[in-house]
Structure formats: structure tokens, C-alpha cells
């Protein structure tokens, strides 16, 4: 039997997805399933009830609704220990997804945040200030020049009063204005005046999202430290399908709360002063898939587990991670910007668009070959059962080599080498040939010890300084070990 719960709130209260995975002893995909369905298995109920109670939360026993946060202690005020009482300035910009800002406000409040609404003129075409005010129980601010507002709370004070300024939805126009530093209404003025963290949840038509101007604004805002939540692929409100769809309100709320409660991110306490914080890191992951015809393809074996674990580990230490992945079943880790691609050429284009970066880690299993001319129709088998079939292939671009020799090369470029024999020699040659700084080499193809799809991996780090052999471990631990080495390199 399954029980309906507000899982986003529970995940945040327990300290993130990793914490709840460990608690229930399940993988990340199970948590994604629970989130999609809004249900938890019955067996999870007593475990979660006990864990939340131990943390000091007041829980309703039947549906695990969080009624109150842990009590403050005299030495530790409530807001420093939990996300309760955090102040979020929710800016609603003018896009069709504006109606989802209302649900986002509700979710944020359920997570214990205090939400104040700000609306652009465009947003008011979609929802009314009254609806946001009614939901938040707070005046919704919408005018830069309202004398009353200025008397009650000037825009500078409004901007400074927040722990987080969250823009939902961030339209193409809003991102362009924010990037240009235009301050022609209350919302954009707040962005210039605030010293708080800023997060945006972009939402727009896929063609607008793909436009070079939007890509530029997005990249430039991120480089300035704006945290981007999504967008994701799927149906967009304008009826087209593709990238540009806004993340779901529950995901936006959970990501926003994590930004202002770093102690809720797994490992964040330990890595509070990580040299990785704020570093822009490109991670490639998964396979690439090269079409032969409308139904067939060439691909390498890869689950994306290792690349995704690396992205998750770096993000949990505060890095600004762009995860560029081929098709995999792994869920997108929290706090990373996900770019989904299919072919090697698409992966290369996404990497080029993501540069410049401080670090690049190429963990993807890129197909070495692609078919020279992809057939528009399904290729027919010859009548003769003995007849062979010739496919003309050409080489795919080497993404790792490209990044290593780029004019805006990241300071640290890391590749992977999966070898079936002569691991050390082959991987050492690969490091030189590709021009990367480090190679993480692992033996594959052993019958007893498969790496593909497994949760385990064993590798060695090969650099100009020599070889560091690592014992067999979980892929998530290997990701942490690699992140530790990168941190050490950054502080050398």
C-alpha cells in the first residue's frame, strides 16, 4: 500500500535526496518515482516519522505532514538550524507559466519559508497581485513608484530583506533585462539592489530557449552567480515540445530551499568552505547514440551512473555544474543544470556552448563512429540470408581532445579511459594524445566484475605527477574521491 505525502517537504527536512535514499535504502530512481507519484510505500512511513521526529519536527502521523520545525535552542536560533523562517522574495515575470508561481509560493510556505510576492506588469496579464497576496498573506508588490510602498518598505529594503530572490517564471525577456542590468520596474530594480542569493526558473518556448541571445543571457547570469533551476524538456504551455519547459513547482521550491539551507545539502556542512564553491564545471555523462536509420542506432554501453554521481558530488560542494548527458535512465542530480543530448555532435555543440568553464570532466562514453549518411527510411534486409551489409562510418569528433585544445580551455580537464587490457599503458598514452590533465582509468570487460551499469567501480588517477590507485568502491564514493582530489588540486 502507498501513502500520499508532500515528499518535497520531507526530502528537504531530512537533508536532501541522498539522505532519504540512505534512510530507506533505495536508489535515486526510486525517489524520483515516489516524487512523480506523490506516494511513499507504507513501509517507509515509520522510518520517516522516526527520522523527522528525531530531528525535532512535529509530524502528523497519518500523512507525515510537517506541522512545525525543530524548536529553537537558546544558543541556536530557529532560522539558523532549519529552513523555517527563511524569507523569499518571489518575483513573478510575465509568461504563461506565471500561474505555476502560485503553486510554487504554496510549496515554499509548506517548506517553512516566508514568501513575499513581487510582480511585473507582464505577470499581471496572467495572474493578479491579489491572488498572490491572498496565498502568501502578504502584500504583493508591483510598482516601483508607489508612494505607499516606498513609505512602507523602499525597494532597497525589500531587496535586502530576503534570504533569496526567486524568479518564477524567468522569461526570455526578463533574463535579457536582468543580464543587461536594466532597472525599469520594481522586479529588475530589486535584482540590482539585492545582496541575497538569486535563483531563476526559466520558462519559454523551445525556439526562444534555443536562441543564441537567450543562451548568452542565461550563461552570463549564471557566471555572475545566479542559480538556474531548469528548464527541462517536455510540453511547453505554447503547445510545442522541447527544452524550455519550467521545472515543476515542487522541484523549484525544493531547489530554492536547498540554496538557503546549505546544511540540508548532503556533505555541505563538511564542504562549507570547499574551493569548488562557485566553480563552473562541465561534466559529460552517459552514451551518445548515433542513428543508422529511423529505427536503428550505434551506441556505447554506459548507464551514466558514474558521470551523474560526479556531477552530484561537485554540486553538493557548491560548484555550478552543467551536466551534458546522452540518453540515460539516471535522474538529474539536484542542483545541476542538465543539458540532454543524443549524438556526439550534439554533445560537442553543448560543451562548446558551456565553455568557458573552470573544469571539464568527460565521463561520457561517446560513440567513436557515426553512419556517414543516415537513411530516412528503415533499411531493408536483403532477401538473401547470407548477404552481408556494409555501413560506411565516419569518426565522431573527440570532445575531450576538443576541450583540451580549446582557446578557452578549462584549467583542469579530466578524461576517462575504459580499457580491456594494458590499462596503465593505454590510459597514459590516452592522456597525452587527448591533451587532458588527468585520466581516470578503469579496467572493463572482466566477466566477474562488470563496470557498465554496476554501482561499483575501480579506477586509478593518472596525472603528470604519477599514478594514484584507488580501491574498488561505489561509483558515488569514487565521485567523492575525485571531488576530494580536485579540491586538493585547486588549493595547491
Enumerate the active-site residues: 238
Say what angle helices 99-110 and 129-136 make with each other, to 10 degrees. Answer: 10
Q: Which of 268, 344, 462, 482 binds ligand C5P (CB under 6 A)?
A: 344
Determine if 328 is a binding residue for ligand C5P (CB under 6 A).
no
CB of residue 439 vs ligand C5P: minimum separation in angstroms?
Answer: 8
Determine if 417 is a binding residue for ligand C5P (CB under 6 A).
yes
* Cα 89 to Cα 48, 153, 187, 223, 311, distances in angstroms: 31, 13, 10, 22, 29
Q: How many residues bind ligand C5P (CB under 6 A)?
A: 15
CB of residue 475 vs ligand C5P: minimum separation in angstroms?
Answer: 15
58-66, 352-360, 396-404, 468-476 -> range binding ligand C5P (CB under 6 A): 396-404
CB of residue 401 vs ligand C5P: minimum separation in angstroms?
Answer: 7
Range 87-126, binding ligand C5P (CB under 6 A):
none
Pick between residue 254 and residue 324 the one whose CB is nearest to ligand C5P. Answer: 324
Tell me the backbone φ, ψ of residue 203, rounded to 5 degrees.
Answer: -155, 125
Pick between residue 136 and residue 284 the one whose CB is nearest to ligand C5P. Answer: 284
How many C-beta atoms lie closer than 10 Å to residue 321's C-beta?
Answer: 27
CB of residue 460 vs ligand C5P: minimum separation in angstroms?
Answer: 14
The cell numbers describing 357, all together, are 568553464
Determine if 400 is a binding residue for ligand C5P (CB under 6 A).
yes
CB of residue 362 vs ligand C5P: minimum separation in angstroms?
Answer: 4
13 CB contacts (<8 Å, ≥6 apart)? 52, 55, 57, 66, 69, 82, 83, 111, 264
On whether the CB atoms of residues 327 and 340 are closer than 8 A, the answer is yes
On whether the CB atoms of residues 190 and 91 are closer than 8 A, the answer is yes
Pick between residue 140 and residue 440 the one whose CB is nearest to ligand C5P. Answer: 440
Q: Which of 16, 244, 266, 415 binds ligand C5P (CB under 6 A)?
A: 415
Q: Which of 104, 284, 337, 404 binds ligand C5P (CB under 6 A)?
A: 284
* Cα 36 to Cα 5, 7, 32, 44, 328, distances in angstroms: 11, 10, 6, 16, 18
Determine if 324 is a binding residue for ligand C5P (CB under 6 A).
no
| DSSP-assigned letters across all residues of 297-327 | EEE----SHHHHHHHHHHHHTT-EEEEEE-S
DSSP 457: E
Dihedral in degrees, nearest 10, Cα atoms 245, 248, 251, 253: 110
Cell 522569461 belongs to: 171
Pick between residue 44 and residue 328 the one whose CB is nearest to ligand C5P. Answer: 328
Residue of 392, 357, 359, 362 lying closest to 374 (CA atoms): 392
Determine if 326 is a binding residue for ligand C5P (CB under 6 A).
no
DSSP 408: T
Determine if 398 is a binding residue for ligand C5P (CB under 6 A).
yes
Pick between residue 208 and residue 400 the one whose CB is nearest to ligand C5P. Answer: 400
22-30, 55-63, 398-406, 451-459 -> range binding ligand C5P (CB under 6 A): 398-406
Please state whether the peptide bond connecting residue 186 to the residue before it is cis, i.e. omega within 30 degrees of 0: no
Determine if 246 is a binding residue for ligand C5P (CB under 6 A).
no
Q: Which of 416, 423, 441, 462 binds ligand C5P (CB under 6 A)?
A: 416
Determine if 443 is a binding residue for ligand C5P (CB under 6 A).
no
Determine if 404 is a binding residue for ligand C5P (CB under 6 A).
no
Determine if 264 is a binding residue for ligand C5P (CB under 6 A).
no
Burial of 97 per CB tally in 10 Å (0-12, 13-18, 19+): buried
Site pattern 351..370 for ligand C5P (x: CB under 6 A): -----------xxx-x-x--
CB of residue 335 vs ligand C5P: minimum separation in angstroms?
Answer: 22
How far is it, in rounded angstroms, from Cα 285 to Cα 302? Answer: 8
Residues forming contacts to ligand C5P in the complex (CB under 6 A) are: 284, 344, 362-364, 366, 368, 396, 398-400, 415-417, 430
Amino acid at each position: 500500500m502507498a501513502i500520499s505525502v508532500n515528499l518535497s517537504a520531507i526530502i528537504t527536512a531530512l537533508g536532501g535526496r541522498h539522505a532519504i535514499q540512505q534512510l530507506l535504502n533505495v536508489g535515486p530512481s526510486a525517489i524520483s518515482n515516489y516524487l512523480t507519484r506523490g506516494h511513499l510505500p507504507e513501509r517507509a512511513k515509520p522510518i520517516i516519522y522516526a527520522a523527522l521526529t528525531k530531528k525535532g519536527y512535529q509530524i502528523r502521523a497519518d500523512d507525515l505532514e510537517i506541522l512545525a520545525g525543530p524548536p529553537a535552542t537558546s544558543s541556536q536560533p530557529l532560522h539558523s538550524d532549519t529552513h523555517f523562517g527563511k524569507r523569499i522574495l518571489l518575483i513573478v515575470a510575465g509568461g504563461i507559466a506565471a500561474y505555476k508561481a502560485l503553486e510554487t509560493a504554496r510549496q515554499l510556505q509548506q517548506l517553512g519559508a516566508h514568501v513575499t510576492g513581487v510582480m511585473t506588469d507582464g505577470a499581471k496579464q496572467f495572474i493578479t497581485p491579489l491572488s498572490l497576496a491572498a496565498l502568501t498573506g502578504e502584500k504583493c508588490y508591483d510598482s516601483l513608484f508607489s508612494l505607499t510602498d516606498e513609505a512602507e518598505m523602499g525597494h532597497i529594503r525589500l531587496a535586502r530583506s530576503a534570504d533569496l530572490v526567486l524568479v518564477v517564471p524567468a522569461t526570455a525577456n526578463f533574463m535579457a533585462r536582468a543580464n543587461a542590468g536594466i532597472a525599469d520596474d520594481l522586479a529588475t530594480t530589486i535584482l540590482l539592489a539585492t545582496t541575497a542569493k538569486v535563483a531563476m526558473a526559466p520558462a519559454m518556448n523551445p525556439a526562444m530557449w534555443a536562441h543564441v541571445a537567450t543562451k548568452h543571457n542565461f550563461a552570463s547570469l549564471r557566471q555572475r552567480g545566479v542559480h538556474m533551476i531548469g528548464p527541462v524538456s517536455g510540453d511547453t504551455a505554447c503547445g510545442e515540445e522541447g527544452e524550455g519547459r519550467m521545472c515543476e513547482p515542487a522541484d523549484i521550491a525544493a531547489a530554492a530551499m536547498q540554496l538557503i539551507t546549505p546544511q540540508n545539502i548532503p556533505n555541505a556542512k563538511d564542504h562549507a568552505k570547499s574551493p569548488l564553491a562557485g566553480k563552473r564545471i562541465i561534466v559529460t555523462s552517459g552514451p551518445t547514440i548515433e542513428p543508422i536509420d529511423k529505427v536503428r542506432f550505434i551506441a556505447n554501453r554506459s548507464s551514466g551512473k558514474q558521470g551523474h554521481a560526479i556531477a552530484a558530488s561537485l554540486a553538493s560542494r557548491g560548484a555550478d555544474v552543467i551536466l551534458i548527458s546522452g540518453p540515460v535512465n539516471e535522474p538529474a542530480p539536484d542542483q545541476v543544470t542538465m543539458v540532454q543530448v543524443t549524438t556526439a555532435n550534439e554533445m560537442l555543440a553543448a560543451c562548446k556552448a558551456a565553455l568557458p568553464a573552470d573544469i571539464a570532466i568527460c565521463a561520457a562514453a561517446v560513440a567513436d563512429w557515426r553512419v556517414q549518411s543516415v537513411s530516412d527510411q528503415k533499411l531493408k534486409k536483403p532477401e538473401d540470408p547470407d548477404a552481408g551489409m556494409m555501413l560506411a562510418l565516419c569518426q565522431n569528433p573527440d570532445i575531450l581532445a576538443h576541450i583540451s585544445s580549446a582557446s578557452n580551455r578549462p584549467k583542469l580537464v579530466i578524461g576517462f579511459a575504459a580499457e580491456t587490457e594494458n590499462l596503465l599503458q593505454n590510459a597514459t598514452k590516452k592522456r597525452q594524445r587527448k591533451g587532458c590533465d588527468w585520466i581516470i582509468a578503469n579496467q572493463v570487460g572482466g566477466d566477474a566484475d562488470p563496470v557498465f551499469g554496476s554501482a561499483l567501480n575501480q579506477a586509478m588517477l593518472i596525472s603528470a605527477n604519477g599514478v594514484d590507485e584507488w580501491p574498488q568502491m561505489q561509483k558515488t564514493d569514487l565521485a567523492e574521491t575525485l571531488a576530494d582530489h580536485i579540491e586538493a588540486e585547486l588549493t595547491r
